[in-house]
């Protein structure tokens, strides 16, 4: 669904629809895995005895597929480890934010000395736009204005928050990592379109993106910096796609109503997760009244 909608929805609508549907689906996955993990704990004899449950009743509930509960335990543990890794990366990014916030001056655009080709938005109050001197050197004044408009769009639309939400969803459920990549692409597209609205020239925005990306391929870029960057894409080929969308706009073919489809799918996942919790409660109640 993400693949079908990525180029058919208006970028801003696509960001919202895919981000929130991924978040809801991830929560549903956690609820389901948590329910099976509780059941797995109940299959341990001393745990069942501690809570006055019939261990035999709990085991028999999925006796034909005994592996399900314990695989769910492993999947929940994997989700926890992956989430911690994403959170640690966020903490490192926050440390960078604190360092930038302490820089002298009140200007929103901050130039830092570095040969790397980089520019990114730092959320906060106020948010700041960080540009390396290496990036500034490869852009003319008009292209630099496009860059600033693009990064300001990230701040105004709270794109860093959307990216974090999508990444956390991908950490919880491996299949949602692919959706997170699509969200990242749509975030850049949304910022491109908002930059067009500011600058008023689609070709100027396309040229600025191309110039920055071309320069970035000739110099090493620190991949530990924030994910949202004017000069890079998450996957190869995404910068050319962004440029192509700017040069051949397809606004007339954009539709908003399909955005409801992933939201409905995510809601369906949550319904089934709640059903799993209800079944678990019924099983525990039955195990509490049955003979050990």
pLDDT of residue 98 exceeding 70, the answer is no
pLDDT tens per residue, range 119-165: 888 777 767 888 888 888 888 999 999 999 999 999 899 998 899 99
Share of the chain above pLDDT 70, in %: 85
| Per-residue CA distances from 131 to 100, 118, 147, 151, 289 (Å) | 11, 6, 9, 10, 66
Q: Is residue 282 part of a domain?
A: yes
Three-class SS state of 47 = helix
Average pLDDT for 228-252: 71
Q: Is residue 1 part of a domain?
A: no
Instruction: Tell me if 163 sits within 8 A of 228, measured CB to CB.
Output: yes
pLDDT at 87: 84
Q: Is residue 2 part of a domain?
A: no
Q: Which two tokens stand for residue 29?
A: 């996955």
What residues contact 27, with CB distance under 8 A and at least 6 apart? 172, 270, 273
Closest to 242 in 3D by CA, of 185, 182, 168: 185
pTM, whole model, 2 decimals? 0.83
Q: Dihedrals φ, ψ of 3, to 5°?
A: -65, -40
Q: Is residue 234 part of a domain?
A: yes
Q: Is residue 199 part of a domain?
A: yes
What residues contact 265, with CB distance under 8 A and at least 6 apart? 1, 21, 25
pLDDT at 186: 92
pLDDT tens per residue, range 258-271: 888 889 999 999 99
Closest to 261 in 3D by CA, of 18, 12, 15: 18
Q: Is residue 181 part of a domain?
A: yes
Pairing mode, strands 119-122 and 109-112: unpaired
Containing structural domain, residue 219: 7-289
Question: How many distinct structural domains can be found in the chain?
Answer: 1
């Amino acid at each position: 669904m993400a693949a079908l909608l990525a180029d058919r929805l208006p970028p801003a609508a696509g960001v919202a629809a895919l981000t929130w549907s991924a978040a809801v689906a991830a929560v549903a996955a956690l609820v389901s895995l948590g329910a099976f993990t509780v059941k797995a704990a109940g299959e341990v004899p001393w745990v069942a005895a501690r809570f006055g449950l019939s261990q035999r009743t709990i085991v028999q509930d999925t006796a034909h597929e005994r592996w399900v509960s314990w695989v769910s335990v492993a999947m929940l543990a994997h989700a926890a480890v992956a989430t911690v890794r994403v959170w640690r990366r966020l903490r490192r990014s926050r440390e960078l934010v604190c360092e930038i916030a302490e820089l002298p001056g009140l200007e929103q655009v901050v130039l830092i000395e570095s040969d790397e080709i980089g520019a990114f938005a730092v959320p906060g109050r106020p948010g700041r736009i960080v540009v390396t001197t290496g990036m500034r050197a490869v852009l003319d004044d008009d292209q630099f204005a496009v860059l600033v408009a693009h990064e300001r769009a990230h701040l105004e639309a709270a794109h860093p928050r959307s990216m974090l939400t999508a990444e956390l969803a991908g950490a919880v459920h491996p299949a949602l990592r692919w959706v997170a990549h699509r969200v990242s692409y749509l975030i850049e597209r949304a910022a491109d379109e908002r930059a067009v609205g500011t600058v008023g020239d689609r070709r100027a925005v396309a040229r600025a993106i191309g110039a920055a990306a071309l320069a970035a391929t000739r110099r090493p870029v620190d991949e530990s910096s924030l994910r949202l960057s004017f000069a890079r894409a998450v996957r190869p080929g995404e910068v050319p796609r962004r440029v192509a969308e700017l040069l051949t706009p397809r606004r007339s073919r954009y539709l908003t109503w399909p955005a409801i489809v992933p939201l409905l799918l995510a809601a369906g996942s949550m319904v089934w997760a709640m059903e799993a919790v209800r079944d678990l409660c019924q099983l525990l109640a039955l195990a509490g009244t049955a003979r050990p």
